[in-house]
Structure 1
Amino acid sequence: MKILHLGDLHIGKKVNGYSMIENQRDIFEQIYSVISKHKIETVLIAGDIYDRSVPSEESIQLLDDFLSQLINILGVHVIAISGNHDSPTRLDFSRGILAKQGLHILGEYKTLVNKISIDNFDFYLMPFVTPAAIRKKFETIIKERELVISTYDDTMKFIAGEAAKTLDINRVNIALYHGFVIGSGDDEKEIEKEESVKTLAIGGKESVAERYFLDFDYTALGHLHGNRKVKSERVRYAGSPIKYSFSEKNQKKSLTIIDIDKDKFDLEQIEIKDIYPMIELKGTFDDIMKADINCDAYLKITLTESVLDAMNKLRSRYSQIMELGIEVPTNDSIDKDHSSKEIHKIPADQLFTDLGHSVGIEIDSEEMEQLRDVINEIKEVAH
Structure 2
Amino acid sequence: MDWLRARIPGSDPAILRQSVVPANGRRTSSMRVLHTSDWHLGSSLAGKKRYDEEEAFLDWLMGVISRDSIDSLIIAGDIFDSGTPSNRALELYYRFLGRVGRTCCRHVLVTAGNHDSPSLLTAPRELLSALDIHVVGSIPPTVDEEVFIFTKEDGDPALIVCGVPFLRDRDVRMAEAGESIEEKRSRLLAGISNHYREVCEVAEQHRQRTGSIVPILATGHLFAAGGNTIADDGVRDLSIGNLLQVSAAAFPSCIDYLALGHLHQPQMVGGETTRRYSGSPFMMGFGESDRDKEVLIVDIGTDRPVHVEPMIVPRIRDLVQIHGDADQVRDKLTELIFSGRPSWVEILLEDSGAGPSVRDEFYRITDGSTVEVQKVKVSPNAGSISSITQESLEELNPDEVFRRCMDAAEEPEENREELIAAFREVLAGILEGDTNAS
Q: TM-score range by the shorter chain?
A: 0.7 to 0.9
> Which residue number corresponds to residue 277 of structure 1?
318
Q: 1:130 aligns with which of 149, 155, 168?
A: 168
Residue deviations 1:259-294, cap 9 Å, x none?
Answer: 110232111111111111111111222321221225
Contact 2:188 / 2:241 at 8 angstroms: preserved in 1? no
Residue deviations 1:15-44, cap 9 Å, x none?
Answer: 111212111111112111111111101100
Contact 1:10 / 1:49 at 8 angstroms: preserved in 2? yes
Secondary structure of the residue aligned to 1:155 is helix
Matches within 5 A, 1:330-341: 330=383
Residue deviations 1:101-147, cap 9 Å, x none?
Answer: 1210110111234101112211101100222233469x9xxxxxxx9
Contact 2:73 / 2:105 at 8 angstroms: preserved in 1? no
Matches within 5 A, 1:222-371: 222-231=261-270, 232-264=272-304, 265-291=306-332, 292-293=335-336, 294=339, 296-305=342-351, 306-318=354-366, 319-327=371-379, 329-330=382-383
Contact 2:229 / 2:235 at 8 angstroms: preserved in 1? no
Secondary structure of the residue aligned to 2:309 is strand
Contact 1:152 / 1:205 at 8 angstroms: preserved in 2? no
More off after superposition, 280-289 vs 78-87: 280-289
Q: How far apart in 1 are the matches of 2:241 and 2:217?
A: 32
Q: 1:118 aligns with which of 133, 150, 165?
A: 150
> Which residue number corresponds to residue 192 of structure 1?
229
Residue deviations 1:150-198, cap 9 Å, x none?
Answer: 554222211101122231262111101111112xxx4x7xx43553111
| Unaligned runs of at least 5 residues, structure 1 | 140-146, 332-383
Structure 1 residue 254, shift from structure 2 partner: 1.5
User: What is the identity percentage for the equivalent residue pairs of Structure 1 and Structure 2?
Assistant: 25
Alpha-carbon RMSD:
2.5
Q: How far apart in 2 are the matches of 1:76 and 1:317?
A: 50
The structure-2 alpha-carbon separation of the partners of 1:175 and 1:303, relative to structure 1 and needing over 3 Å to count, comes to same
Larger gyration radius, structure 1 or structure 2 = 1
Q: 1:176 aligns with which of 219, 229, 234?
A: 219
> Which residue number corresponds to residue 377 of structure 1?
none
Q: How far apart in 1 are the matches of 2:187 and 2:239?
A: 9
Matches within 5 A, 1:18-37: 18-37=48-67
Structure 1 residue 200, shift from structure 2 partner: 4.5
| Unaligned runs of at least 5 residues, structure 2 | 1-30, 152-156, 177-182, 385-438
Give TM-score scaled by structure 2 length.
0.67
Is 2:41 the counterpart of 1:11? yes
Runs ≥4 in structure 1, deviation > 6 angstroms? Answer: none
Structure 1 residue 76, shift from structure 2 partner: 3.6
Amino acid at match of 1:109: I
Q: How far apart in 2 are the matches of 1:159 and 1:280?
A: 42
Contact 2:168 / 2:241 at 8 angstroms: preserved in 1? no
The structure-2 alpha-carbon separation of the partners of 1:218 and 1:58, relative to structure 1 and needing over 3 Å to count, comes to same
Structure in which a larger fraction of residues adopt helix = 2
Structure 1 residue 58, shift from structure 2 partner: 0.6
Question: Number of aligned pairs?
Answer: 317
